[in-house]
Amino acid sequence: GAVVSQHPSWVICKSGTSVKIECRSLDFQATTMFWYRQFPKQSLMLMATSNEGSKATYEQGVEKDKFLINHASLTLSTLTVTSAHPEDSSFYICSAQEGQEQNNEQFFGPGTRLTVL
């Protein structure tokens, strides 16, 4: 199956700093990428949907100025958590799919564990 990577796999940062997480599709072109957040013992919550070359669509309640998403190429999307606070500590997971059809399989990355001190 298709492979999606995330970097870093874990990161610890101080409160107030910014953290960038990369999501790459390694062997296919990802027209659409999704960013999710997962708190312990909870399900994945979609944060935003990004299509290559256009602005991301954020879910209700997700601050677009705090969670900056860039999908500059068909193989790379980045999520930047700006001015991170301890409540932003979570497991961030990206997924990627070819095309924009809703029945296209999404391939998930391994996730990034963010801890904000």
- For another protein, the binding residues (CB under 8 A) are 1, 4, 6, 32, 34, 41-46, 49, 59, 91, 93, 95, 100, 102-103, 105-111, 113
Report how far apart, in Å, the C-alpha atoms of 15 and of each of 89, 91, 105 are. Answer: 10, 17, 36
Distance CA 15, CA 104 (A): 38
Minimum Å distance from CB 35 to another protein? 11
88: left (phi over 0), alpha (psi -120 to 50) or beta: alpha
Minimum Å distance from CB 9 to another protein? 9
